[in-house]
Amino acid sequence: MRLIFYVFGIILSATAAFTDPRIWQYEFLETDFSKTSLESWLEIRSGGVGKDSIPALDYVEMIAVADANIPATEPVIKLELAWLIPRAYPLRYMTWHEIVNDYAGDIPFSVIFCPLCNFAIVFDRHVQGQVLDFGVMGQLRNSDMVMYDRQTFTWWEQAVGQGIVGN
């Protein structure tokens, strides 16, 4: 009878620990955990890696398609703007890096790919008059990547592009 209560107590303690944001504060010292749109900290789950363990790429050098050696059947994330030569971000690289912080002319943007949910999106990096750089934080919400920005250390949900924890 004691063993059952003991095991139950461990489960309750582990669940209680995940409802407390202090478990992430050692990695995200600058994040303001008092500001959040989460209903419960249980919405955030570990993706199995720590902050920046998956390195985002910053300001990649683009090369011509003819020089890129990309097979016609290779999946890419394509960014096409009227005034710019289209850009392709191969999934073979996006799977390993998940985020590319880049510029198209003078427009800062991020290409973000979540391999777990197989979802890609491109965001303009201007937020409230500031240009943000994004990094992989290793956490998930609803099996979707949660990223952070390196300027305000706010946590952002990839699928909706909204800050969910921090400034």
pLDDT tops 60 at residue 7: no
77-128 pLDDT tens trace: 988 888 888 888 999 999 999 999 999 888 899 999 999 889 999 999 999 9
Specify the pLDDT at position 105.
82
Q: Which two tokens stand for residue 142?
A: 């609803």
pTM for the complete prediction? Answer: 0.84
The CA distance from 73 to 67, in Å, is 16
Alpha carbon separation from 10 to 1, 22, 44 (Å, rounded): 15, 19, 20
Range of the domain at 20: 2-165
Structure tokens, 56: 């985002």
How many domains are there within the chain?
Answer: 1
User: What percentage of residues in the chain have a pLDDT greater than 70?
Assistant: 89
Residue 133 CB burial class (10 angstroms; 0-12, 13-18, ≥19): middle
